[in-house]
Chains A and B, each alone.
Chain A
């Protein structure tokens, strides 16, 4: 994270161009700034006042900038440590606990700014003042006596910098439109996937791609394209429920998805039972992995995941059939398993699943570019409203998206 300090500038700073001089100096020296608060004097006599966050790429540069602007009246605001309070009981935050955002966050501990690890929205911050570490913690995971940040003092949140890459992620304005042409958006996503795969193969940090998807991928005909993307190592983590794997394997075993003949698109007699028979078969075998490795399930998304060692987190919901072995039916445990898979993710594709898309979106730090694809505009809109530069919404069906994306990446047509 960049180094930063908050400075105060006051007096007749507007007409004297002192404010302009200070801001120009910051920029000319290679720093950046954000206004935190500006009060302009209403009369000539009344002074103005600005609180400005100054950022620089290193502590040395920041100190040089502060040194240069100090003679013009910029004083560094004295910073206090964050306040800590012990959790009163297991699973309960202290009163006034600080609730996180999904933006990069630091807390001041023993006069030092400490990065909050695993940032995620709507959690608390657990601090170890001895080891000088801080991380987010969900309410349910708190243990009595854990030191939790309270109030806002000594907490600072860094707004996202506009990404440097000049692609679709760099100038999205959080708007989602069904009328916008998709092709160049998908082209940009494909370019990112190529870069990330190269990084993944070299073992670079933050180069894994997560796909969270619903069964509409299979019903709409996106199964082959997604299986190809997984086989080609473009996807490294899969979040889904019970239905996506059930219908994917139903296609392999019966040639239908939810009873429709996959190739012909017609209902087959008693086809509605096929997914139940599929689930039953896999339960009998013991696991999806065993079903694939023993050759019972040969094609499709789950087979590709097993072949490629993709981490699959299956989170169950109410009235799931079966469920399949491996589906986590305790939603708190499922949430924890999803959360554990987030570190290292460099991009997220949220396709055709309101439930998993929203859950995943809320688990992701704002810094991870995400693409939400759904035929229902409200889902990408909800995700885009998270206030990230890097959330792209596409109103289109899953099969078209995955098909176009895989073709863009060189899949045979």
Chain B
């Protein structure tokens, strides 16, 4: 059973611009956004079998909907995010309170460190990967590695359109990796190649990477991804996965999709 933290998009809007996708003139259609979000929830609950924990949305915090950036939760321990931009720093207290209310052991990073949660820290069972340079900073990974006793391989994100690791890389439950290699420099690509053999590296095309094909939620053999990525769907199918495309283009106006809208709690 997979538990995911989500937050309804009641106040979702584009009120500032902190990544190349966000344009304040590109207004969100709120009704559409709400419909799309509920569509995603339905797929997650009914088709994938995930259990959803819903956070209460807050006025003035339009990006609270992107719960992937709440922090990282592993084995009853939660490390809340430290956002790079002041616009999102106001979310930190809400996420931290939620973790405490749920009874997690909360470990906080010193202020001044930047770490944007599961957006930049993705896990295989034995190795974790950390994205840095755009939002999180590389110096947090030794601290997290120490807290969770895990190896964390930092990967530099070199294309600001892929500003979080979960926008260009998605670990799959069978050990495969769905990713867009040009989002990394050759050191990062080499480091990934060192850990994952070529047969398990599923490369997404640029067109679909820009539709956030890698911003997918994998639960067992189910993969929920944004609609409009047929080649990625075929790739997943050929490796034994069941793709579930969901229309999420209102959230793409803010630079987020399926994965950004969820946080794995187990």
Taking Cβ atoms with an 8 Å cutoff, the residues of A that contact B are 10-12, 15-18, 20-21, 44-45, 47, 71-73, 75
Which bracket fits the contact residues of B?
A: 20 to 34
- The answer on a CB contact under 8 Å between B127 and A44 is yes
Give every chain A residue within 8 A of B154 (Cβ-Cβ).
Answer: 11-12, 16, 18, 73
- Find out whether the CB atom of B126 lies under 8 angstroms from the CB atom of A44: yes
Beta-carbon contact of A47 and B138 below 8 Å: no
Query: Which residues from B are CB-within-8-Å of A20?
Result: 187
Contact B145 A47 (CB under 8 A): yes
- A/B interface sample: 17 pairs, CB < 8 A: A11-B139, A12-B152, A12-B153, A12-B154, A15-B151, A15-B153, A15-B194, A16-B153, A16-B154, A21-B156, A44-B127, A45-B150, A45-B151, A71-B132, A71-B137, A72-B138, A75-B139
Residue of B149, B150, B153 ringed by the most chain A CB atoms within 10 A: B153
Residues of B within 8 A of A72 (CB): 138, 156
B145 touches A12 (CB 8 A): yes
Q: Return chain B residues, CB-CB under 8 Å to A75.
A: 139
CB of B196 closer than 8 Å to a CB of A: no
Q: How far is the CB of B177 from chain A (nearest CB, A)?
A: 15
Interchain CB contact under 8 A, A15 and B195:
yes
- Contacts A15-B191, A16-B154, A17-B190: A10 and B142 contacting too (C-beta < 8 A)? yes
**Does B23 sit at the interface, judged by CB under 8 A?**
no
- Interfacial chain B residues near A15, Cβ < 8 Å: 151, 153, 191, 194-195
Please give the distance in Å from B228's CB to the nearest CB on chain A.
33
A16 to B185, CA, bound (A): 11
A-B contact count (CB 8 A): 59
Beta-carbon nearest neighbor of A48 in chain B = B142
Minimum C-beta distance from A238 to chain B (A): 57
Residues of B within 8 A of A11 (CB): 138-139, 141-142, 145, 152, 154
Which residues of B (144-189) have their CB < 8 Å from a CB of A?
145-146, 149-156, 185, 187-188
In the complex, what residues of A have CB within 8 A of residue B185's CB? 21
By the criterion CB–CB under 8 Å, are A71 and B133 in contact?
yes
Q: Are A45 and B191 in contact (CB under 8 A)?
A: no
A16 touches B191 (CB 8 A): yes
Distance to closest chain A CB from B249 (angstroms): 33
**Cross-chain contact B145 with A18 (CB below 8 angstroms):** no
How far is it, in angstroms, between the C-alpha of A10 and the C-alpha of B141 when the chains are bound? 10
Ranked nearest first, the 9 interchain pairs of A and B with the lowest CB-CB distance are A11-B142, A17-B187, A73-B138, A16-B153, A44-B151, A21-B187, A16-B191, A16-B154, A17-B191
B146: nearest residue on chain A (CB-CB)? A47
A50 to B127, CA, bound (A): 22
